Amino acid sequence: MSKKTLVIGGGIAGITAAQKIAQNGGEVILIEKEGELGGNFAKLAYTFPVLADAKMIVTREIQTAKATSGIEILPQTELRGVSGSAGDFTVELNSPSGTRSEHVGAIIVAAGFHYMEPTAYTEYSYGRSPKVVTSLEFEKMAAENRLPKGNARVVFVHCVGSRDKAKGYRYCSKICCSYSAKHAIMMKKANPDSKAYVFYIDIRALGKGYEEFIRDAMEVYNVRYIRGRVAKVIESGSKLIVRAEDSLIGNPVEVEADLVVLASAMEPPEGSRDLAGILGIATDEYGFFQEAEVNVRPCHSSKSGIFLAGSCTQPMEIASAVAMGGLAASEALTLIR
């Protein structure tokens, strides 16, 4: 029986799983297809619901993983093949330095999510106007100090690509209500002269402190929430016109904006079905990895010895990805110890 665990994906879920296994005496091979660890967390500036310093936290967690003995980190590495069964898998790993074969007792899939490029949303002028950006681009703008200056008006658009059978996904991406509120607050903090608007269908912000966070956006930071899904963003000279129906009034409304931020969908990681094929595990109708049982076995894949962690199973916030990483680690430990 092999004492090692293979963790696929170096985002916060994979990092957490690797740390917990190693801290409990196991050995880990952590493979990451990119050059650096951190995943999407590393692209954020601040985190809801407390506006914590994202870079500081993710760097600390990466350092801890690197400093913990028993974790071998392989960047730019992908899985090519798997054989064997729980407790005794043989995996083929492909790195720039070549291919190698390893024996592992358990596998944890923590391949994360991909952020949807909302190119289908021509009605929002995405791809046409440089003033229409995604929420992930907004994080980058904030980190690089490029948020609009002066008396600027910024409009945040909920549910782009989510809750949209026609052009995106039927599911709700779960956390964009919360990060849009975070972005509106970040905007107001960075530039108190700016005006921030959020257009929503309904507000889904479930978690400790989340409702309070949204209320603070409205009450403390004076962010205006308008109920109605945005229908159009029209370029008009140097400005943008955002059109919607205020469904609480039952009347069409428009607002002139300098920047429009689209809360796009969190979708399955690129190549998730191929990876599932190599591993021999199931995905759901969208391509997220399928848990064996939603309620009490959220970390079990459809195959014994292969576990799931983080946003490769469904859209989720950092705290849930960490919790799942920890649970996947303890499941793996039962096989390798």
Partner 1 sequence: MRLRIDEDGIRNVVEEAIGKSLTACLQCSKCGGGCSHSEEFDLTPRQVVESLLDCQDQNVLDSRMIWLCGRHCSGCQAVCPVGLPLNDIMAVLREEALKLDIEPKYEQPSLVYHKFEHCAKHRGEGEASESMVGGETQPA
As given in the structure block, the two tokens for residue 256 are 């002139």
Closer by beta carbon to ligand FAD, 13 or else 187:
13
Indicate which of ligand SF4, partner 1, ligand FAD, none lies near residue 78 (CB less than 5 to 8 Å, by partner kind). ligand FAD
Contacting ligand SF4 (CB under 6 A), which of 54, 133, 142, 172?
172
Binding residues (CB under 8 A) for partner 1: these are 122-125, 159, 163-168, 201, 227-234, 243-245, 247, 250-253
- Minimum CB–partner distance for residue 200 and partner 1 (Å): 9
Closer by beta carbon to ligand FAD, 220 or else 319:
319
Radius of gyration, alpha carbons of the chain:
21
Question: Rounded to an integer, what distance in angstroms lies between the CA atom of residue 68 and that of residue 24?
Answer: 11
159 near ligand SF4 (CB under 6 A): yes
- Minimum CB–partner distance for residue 49 and ligand FAD (Å): 8
- Minimum CB–partner distance for residue 152 and ligand FAD (Å): 20
Helices (DSSP H) in the chain: which residue ranges? 12-23, 54-67, 135-143, 176-190, 210-219, 272-279, 318-336
204 near ligand SF4 (CB under 6 A): yes
Closer by beta carbon to ligand FAD, 116 or else 240:
116
Q: Is the peptide bond before 268 cis (omega within 30 degrees of 0)?
A: no
- Minimum CB–partner distance for residue 322 and ligand SF4 (Å): 19
Indicate which of ligand SF4, ligand FAD, partner 1, none lies near residue 139 (CB less than 5 to 8 Å, by partner kind). ligand FAD
Indicate which of ligand FAD, partner 1, ligand SF4, none lies near residue 123 (CB less than 5 to 8 Å, by partner kind). partner 1
185 near ligand SF4 (CB under 6 A): no
182 near ligand SF4 (CB under 6 A): no
Residue 97, classed as helix, strand or coil, is: coil
Question: Rounded to an integer, what distance in angstroms lies between the CA atom of residue 5 and that of residue 334?
Answer: 11
- The phi and psi torsions of 37 (rounded to 5 degrees) equal -85, 165
β pairing state of 239-246 and 251-257: antiparallel
Q: Which of residues 254-273 bind ligand SF4 (CB under 6 A)?
A: 263
Question: Rounded to an integer, what distance in angstroms lies between the CA atom of residue 10 and that of residue 39?
Answer: 6
Closer by beta carbon to ligand FAD, 182 or else 252:
182
Question: Alpha carbon of 116 to those of 71, 119, 141, 198: distances in Å?
Answer: 32, 9, 18, 20
Residue 205, classed as helix, strand or coil, is: coil
